[in-house]
Structure 1
Amino acid sequence: MNPNTKKVIEKCARESHVGFLTFPEALGRLIEAGVESYFADYRNQSTTYYLSRNEALSVPMAMPTIEIPNSFNKDGVVSAICAAQSDTVRYPEFLKLTMSAGCIGYIVWMAGKYVSYFGRQGELHIEHFPQE
């Protein structure tokens, strides 16, 4: 992987994780770096970024110490998404809210313009990017 691409991805991950970037800002940087999708894995405490050249970079990220429930609360996940979209919450709080709602992680699909959120028992919520 190009060292500059790696630096952009790692910086974007760090800045998102501390709440510095909004979701659209992070997406813009990642798309520009060539990322086509990424998987935030709450249980593994990492985010893996996939590039169109079949390259991947996994970035470890400490997650909040929240016991993720067995049940998936779709309404809770959607509420957290809406709060993030309105910039009422940033990523650190988004993590806490989605984890508390039973989400174990999500995949962002840049070209498809949607995010797939997962629960422990295979539950799935698909959220399309807001219209620009």
Structure 2
Amino acid sequence: MQEKVIRTMQECTDGSDHERISFPEVVMKLTQAGVERYHADLLRAEKIYYLPSGESHRVQAAQIEAVPAMVFTADGVAAAVRAIQTQQIRYREFCERIAQAGCVGYMVSLTGRRAVYYGRSGDSYVEPFPAAA
């Protein structure tokens, strides 16, 4: 894997964790770097990025304080998504809120333009998003 692609993955993770970069900017940068998708594990505090070739790279992320609820509520996740989309909250609070709604992780498909949030028992919520500019 090219060092430039790995740097982009690290920059996107750090930029999100430190609230210096928005989700649309992350999508644009990762798409330009050739990333196909990524998985965020809220319990392990890590993101794994995947290329179409099958290569992957793991990046440590900031730990969240909330312990994900035992029961997943799609409405709670959807409310957090709407709040961050309307800039009422930022990324760290977004992660806390989705965890409180029972989310333990999410997968973002850049090629499929959707994020899939899931809970402990496999319940999920899918949020489509527009293509990167």
Q: What is the TM-score normalised by the length of structure 2? A: 0.93
1:4 matched residue in structure 2: 4
Q: How large is the Cα RMSD of the aligned pairs?
A: 1.4
1:88 matched residue in structure 2: 88
Paired with 1:96 and 1:59, the residues of 2 have a C-alpha distance of: 19
Shift of 1:45: 1.1
Paired with 1:98 and 1:31, the residues of 2 have a C-alpha distance of: 24
What amino acid does structure 1 have at the position aligned with 2:30? L
Gaps in structure 1 of 5+ consecutive residues: none
The list of structure 1 runs, each at least 4 consecutive aligned residues, that deviate by more than 6 angstroms after superposition, is none
Paired with 1:92 and 1:19, the residues of 2 have a C-alpha distance of: 7
Paired with 2:46 and 2:85, the residues of 1 have a C-alpha distance of: 22
Paired positions, count = 132
Paired with 1:30 and 1:87, the residues of 2 have a C-alpha distance of: 21
Paired with 1:83 and 1:71, the residues of 2 have a C-alpha distance of: 21
Paired with 1:67 and 1:129, the residues of 2 have a C-alpha distance of: 27
Identity among equivalent pairs (%): 34
